[in-house]
Amino acid sequence: MQTAAGGADMTPARVLWLTGLSGAGKSTIAQATCQLLRSQGRRAVVLDGDELRRGLTRDLGFSDADRSENVRRTAEVARLMADAGLVVIVALISPFRADRALARALFEPGRFIEVFVDTALSVAESRDPKGLYKRARQGRLPGFTGIASPYEPPLAPEISIATEQMLPDLAAARLAALLG
């Protein structure tokens, strides 16, 4: 988790909720967006799924119930941080629409911005920085999202970012502009 230094910040506290397959580019875009916002004097923080699983949610597995609890805990933390005045950038697979809807319900209208990091499974699989897709295809990662467990893309996200066509810095600029 990264937080910004203090200072005058006129950005309304909001949550950018980046969802997409493993390897889609969520973390890269989240970090680039946070860095850009900070360079503009805005207070921002990243809640990254991988980092959360090493700490706050390390007791959770990958069953549907555990995935839902992972999203719930992350949304609660994001709400607390947004209430403290931060722009919170969440990078979390969050594969189920119902869980993302519950996360959205914690926020006043306009404070939760769903960002679909849209990447074809074949592209995400070819990137596979952690070798997860390979292990899933070998049957060594049961229930892996996109292979043995579904990913439900958002039906009406506020913004979609096709990472096959947009570099992370441009995606970050679009997200920062969306915040105003």
User: Residue 8: its pLDDT value, please?
Assistant: 47
Q: Residue 69, SS3?
A: helix
* Residues 8-27 pLDDT 10s: 445 578 999 999 999 999 99
* Eight-state DSSP code of residue 106: T
At 24, list the tokens: 């889609």
Gyration radius from the chain CA atoms: 16
- Check: CB of residue 18 under 8 Å from CB of residue 89: yes
What are the structural domains, with CATH classification, of the chain? 15-155 (3.40.50.300)
* Residues 126-167 pLDDT 10s: 988 789 999 999 999 888 999 989 999 999 999 999 998 999
Whether 149 sits among the annotated catalytic residues: the reply is no
Confidence of residue 7 (pLDDT cuts 50, 70, 90): very low
Please pick, among 68, 94, 122, 160, the residue that the annotation labels catalytic. 94
* Residues 57-91 pLDDT 10s: 999 988 899 999 999 999 999 999 999 999 999 99
User: Residue 4: its pLDDT value, please?
Assistant: 44
